Structure 1
Amino acid sequence: MSDSVTGTSGTHEAGVHTGRLRTGLDPRAHRIVYDQYRTDDGDPVGDELRLISEVDRAHLVMLAERGIVDARRAAALLDTVDALRAEDFAPVRARPMPRGLYLAYEGWLVDRLGQETGGVLHTGRSRNDLNATTVRLKVRGPYGQLLDEVAELARVLLDKGEAHRDVTMPAYTHGQPAVPISYGHYLTGVAGGVLRSLAGLLDAGREIDVNPLGAGAVGGTSVPVDPARTADLLGFTAAVPNSVDAVASRDFVLRMLSAAAVLGVLMARVARDLTWWTTEEFGLLRMADDLVGSSSMMPQKRNPFLLEHIQGRSTAALAGFTGAAAAMSTAGYTNAIAVGTEAARHLWPGLADTTQAVTLLRLVVDGAEPDRERMRDRAREGFTSATYLAERLVVDGIPFRTAHHLVGETVLGALDSGTPLSEAARAQPDVAAAAAGYPADWLDPETVAAACAHGGGPGGTGPDEALARARAELVALTAESAARRARWADAAERLSAEAAKVVAVSSDDVPPEEAAARVVAAR
């Protein structure tokens, strides 16, 4: 069957050229909105084993350095774990797992190395503190991706805000034209909310930078472990000081979902605005062909359907927060499956869908072009300069409430006569005196917007200063995010180097005491 269709205008790829639309959907948007048709669910077993084995490597290095475990046994385990990682854990995947993934993995190590060596891996540790640690490592990837996408959205909003700073449009309240602003002023305002959300997400992630390893099941351990050392090797900034808190808390799940939900509410509201403004009735914005969809039946349609996906996906974190909070509220403050498993599982779709909504909104903002003339006409036709006229009367000594009434009558006169507001003002006896001293264009929306230089309005130097402050804030926030990522990456390299040292200095046939001393000396 052919994948193309032939018509009077030539041959076009089916599903790409629709007659009205000449390009396919942006590939980044396509991956997001059609991913429900994919069958690739990733590799959850391999992902979890990689996290567990990373913690194992840090734990073994620390145990060898402290002399808790014979350095040669630690080296044998490190070598075997590294080999298992190189095989993508194939031997473990083939084993039955009646007691769960971790015990199948540990059981394979014991079978391979014997109890004397394989059996020391879990010294001074429980699955409780192990799970509390691995979930923190697991979230680094999707959390970091969300931070990157939010920062990029803020950058695009600020760039477009600056580019469209002189495109006058109505600000809307209750769906009606209110006062004149610029499209750039609107986008810069949205950027302010996005930057606050970025700061909120960074705050929400501080808990994943503390190390729960060493807390054991819930009451710590009598084995003299060094949580500060494993914290350093795994890229944490510190160790959790209380063992109950270490295994009981997954507060970061709630905080991340909460911060993502706040961002989601903002995105849904912006998507609602853009949905209205891209309608034929409003006609304020136009999307490129690669950001809209067609109709399977109606050939004239240009549907900005990505905005609907933004609205839908932006609520995922809110739903996740509700589910996670409900699950946690059933558990006591100790290690609990309801917290560590049932509540935490809501984090992954919440972060993923929020990230996708951010990406789609960025593509839309970047690709939407304002219709300058239409925006100006709507600002003029909506009498958005009326408030400014009332304020000018106040400057002439008229009480504001009286001025409000007079301008309302002036607007009615303009509607009845079909004249611009400036002409109606000159025809209104109680307003004409104030209007007489101004030039003909004094009530043009562009002029009024430029005059509103106070209270964060679109006029004067305020917009330039707001953009500069926002860009400086974005630089600071992205630097904080990048520093975290660098610390995690540096720790991974350092852990590999430290593990290699343990293996190297333990390779000679020396007494255990000497091997332990060599490990400490090599640190």
Structure 2
Amino acid sequence: MTVTGRLTRTLGARTRRVVYGESGPADIRRELGATSTVDLAHVVMLTESGLLPRDAAAALLRRITALRADGFRELYDLPAPRGLYLMYEGHLVAELGSEVGGKLHTGRSRNDIKATITALRLRAELTALLGELLRLQAVLLARARAHRGVVMPVYTHFQPAMPVSYGYYLAGIATALDRDVESLQQVLDQLDRCPLGAGAVAGTDLPIDPARTAGLLGFADGPLHATDAVAARDTMLRAVAAAASAAVTLSRLATDLQLWSTQEFGFVEFPERLVGGSSAMPQKRNAFLLEHVKAKAGLAVGAWTAAASAMKSTPFTNSIEVGTEAVAAGWPALAAVLDSVLLGQALVGGARPVPARMAERAREGFVTATVIANRLVARGVPFRTAHHVVGEAVREAVEAGATELAAIRLPDGTGADSAELPTLREVVDDHDRGGGPGECDRTVRVLRERLAGHCDRLAAQRARTAQGELRLAEAVAALTGPPVPATRAAAAGTDTDAGADANADGDGTESAP
């Protein structure tokens, strides 16, 4: 079977399965759904640019719209020896003839189509991921405010270090995630140029209007550089990197919560809806969802490594290693991170601190020692001297089997009895410098303001996408409807000269305004 003017054979069946896979109905709907969206915008642009007669455009748009409405059902069983796109285009040619279907590919290539589809999908997936991350931020900040007074020890090197609050800890996670949100938002902002119009690798000499196509697809503009548009997928790399960073942050949260929910710690409890039992051990109450959160970070990190490795040392032009293999590694990573975020929302919202146990461990861990030393410094004692005498007091208390400091003796004989030692709550509140727990309310306030800004940016992005969808729907409806009479077009101030330019084929039809 002749496939192109140059080639007369296709790949063998086994090789074809390796390269293109075996697409089921869901795969066909997903890929051709995005492809046909690009096609609708492209047909509108070709018609307005005078490269496609209106009657041919209307026929194409109606047929594509009908296929989309039926979920491409009639294509499910068609052979696709060179992939779904060429199978789909071949079907349009067979249905409409080469004079109509054969004009669809004017002024473009599979290269810029594929890059555009990747950008559309990445935009949608990042928008969804950002939306859920912002919901998680809201949950974290709400819990941070609610639990700002629940005192607990913070650990360094797995040893109790200083007193903080559970709310303050959650605000720290929110602070880290704020940077991940910002990174993902920046990646989304970089998806402002539509690759369509870049052609195979160097644009085209046909009078196309890439800016119009970009607008119909919700982008700000067309390609800045054609080779870059089809060669680069660094935006995908940055997206996976930012998503992986968020997943790593969540994995650290999950590690703490899993440790704190053990019987040995008893800091946090989860409701039954968030734990699992054991098939063999009746007593078990496993916070197993946290293990999913931890593992998904590894999937995201591995995906970035795989994608970057596939792109490394490839020529800077259209490349299968980059546009197909490397990109393919990114989608499961973004899905895994989204799942991790959804689990994080449930886990943070469902976790309940155990204040009595947290306070008990804070007292037993001598976590006020640094503050006691600092108070001695405020009385004129050199810090190193204060550090030494407080450390000595801790050692003596431990040797005596005590769990709290009783008195501090200075070398010159002055001291402070236990009644003068600060309480845990006082210590937490007094740490109001350097971003300490005493500043938790300010931290939450700043993060809530940033959260509102992130939400506004995401809403604006969604609005631009929706506006593009509306423009595209209106343009398609205008072309598939009856032609506008010349008198009405003139009365409306429409440039009817465009119709003459569009009729270079002499078919006697008008171009859409």
> How does the TM-score come out when normalised to structure 1?
0.87
For residues 262 and 431 of structure 1, do their structure 2 counterparts lie closer, same or farther at Cα, with a shift above 3 Å needed? farther
2:93 equivalent to 1:93: no
Structure 1 SS opposite 2:286: coil
Q: 2:460 pairs with 483, 493, 499, which one?
A: 483
2: CA distance between counterparts of 1:111 and 1:297?
62
2:443 equivalent to 1:466: yes
Deviations 1:408-450 (A, max 9, x none): 111112223344544233xx354973525xx826332112111
Structure 2 SS opposite 1:181: strand
Select between 166-175 and 409-418 the one with higher mean Cα deviation. 409-418
Counterpart residue number, 2:47: 64
Counterpart residue number, 2:268: 285
Q: CA deviation at 1:148?
A: 1.4
Q: 2:416 pairs with 430, 435, 438, which one?
A: 435
1: CA distance between counterparts of 2:195 and 2:403?
69
1: CA distance between counterparts of 2:388 and 2:57?
85
After superposition, where does 1:23-422 map in structure 2 within 5 Å? 43-419=26-402, 421-422=404-405
Counterpart residue number, 1:29: none
2: CA distance between counterparts of 1:431 and 1:218?
82
1: CA distance between counterparts of 2:512 and 2:68?
28
Structure 2 SS opposite 1:115: coil
2: CA distance between counterparts of 1:367 and 1:329?
43
Counterpart residue number, 2:424: 445
Counterpart residue number, 1:20: none
Structure 2 SS opposite 1:178: strand
8 Å contact from structure 1 (residues 71, 515) kept in 2: no
Deviations 1:68-87 (A, max 9, x none): 11122111111111112122
Deviations 1:180-207 (A, max 9, x none): 0000000001100111111111112233
Structure 2 SS opposite 1:214: coil
Deviations 1:297-316 (A, max 9, x none): 11111111111111001222
2:487 equivalent to 1:504: no
2: CA distance between counterparts of 1:456 and 1:272?
23
2: CA distance between counterparts of 1:336 and 1:167?
55
For residues 422 and 62 of structure 1, do their structure 2 counterparts lie closer, same or farther at Cα, with a shift above 3 Å needed? same
Q: CA deviation at 1:141?
A: 3.0
For residues 431 and 203 of structure 1, do their structure 2 counterparts lie closer, same or farther at Cα, with a shift above 3 Å needed? farther
Q: CA deviation at 1:342?
A: 0.1
8 Å contact from structure 1 (residues 414, 424) kept in 2: no
8 Å contact from structure 2 (residues 47, 512) kept in 1: no
1: CA distance between counterparts of 2:156 and 2:25?
46
Counterpart residue number, 1:454: 433
Select between 391-400 and 228-237 the one with higher mean Cα deviation. 391-400
Deviations 1:159-179 (A, max 9, x none): 000000000000100000000
8 Å contact from structure 2 (residues 47, 54) kept in 1: yes
Select between 164-173 and 140-149 the one with higher mean Cα deviation. 140-149
Runs of 4+ aligned structure 1 residues displaced above 6 Å come to 507-512, 517-521
Q: CA deviation at 1:218?
A: 0.3
1: CA distance between counterparts of 2:303 and 2:174?
25
Counterpart residue number, 1:495: 472
8 Å contact from structure 1 (residues 62, 226) kept in 2: yes
Deviations 1:202-249 (A, max 9, x none): 112233331010111001101011110001000011212111001001
Structure 1 SS opposite 2:99: helix
For residues 326 and 519 of structure 1, do their structure 2 counterparts lie closer, same or farther at Cα, with a shift above 3 Å needed? farther
8 Å contact from structure 2 (residues 498, 511) kept in 1: no
Q: CA deviation at 1:508?
A: 8.3
1: CA distance between counterparts of 2:498 and 2:245?
56
Structure 2 SS opposite 1:119: helix
Deviations 1:13-65 (A, max 9, x none): xxxxxxxxxxxxxxxxxxxxxxxxxxx98711111111111111101111111
1: CA distance between counterparts of 2:396 and 2:24?
65
For residues 398 and 429 of structure 1, do their structure 2 counterparts lie closer, same or farther at Cα, with a shift above 3 Å needed? closer
Select between 266-275 and 244-253 the one with higher mean Cα deviation. 266-275
Q: CA deviation at 1:273?
A: 1.0
8 Å contact from structure 1 (residues 410, 424) kept in 2: yes
Q: CA deviation at 1:270?
A: 1.3
8 Å contact from structure 2 (residues 499, 512) kept in 1: no
The count of residues paired between Structure 1 and Structure 2 equals 477
| Percent of matched pairs sharing the same residue | 45
For residues 468 and 274 of structure 1, do their structure 2 counterparts lie closer, same or farther at Cα, with a shift above 3 Å needed? same
1: CA distance between counterparts of 2:413 and 2:278?
53
8 Å contact from structure 1 (residues 128, 218) kept in 2: yes
5+ residue gaps, structure 1: 1-39
1: CA distance between counterparts of 2:485 and 2:138?
56
Q: Which amino acid is 1:281 matched to?
A: E
For residues 521 and 90 of structure 1, do their structure 2 counterparts lie closer, same or farther at Cα, with a shift above 3 Å needed? closer
Q: Which amino acid is 1:435 matched to?
A: A
2: CA distance between counterparts of 1:273 and 1:342?
36
For residues 192 and 367 of structure 1, do their structure 2 counterparts lie closer, same or farther at Cα, with a shift above 3 Å needed? same
Q: Which amino acid is 1:221 matched to?
A: T
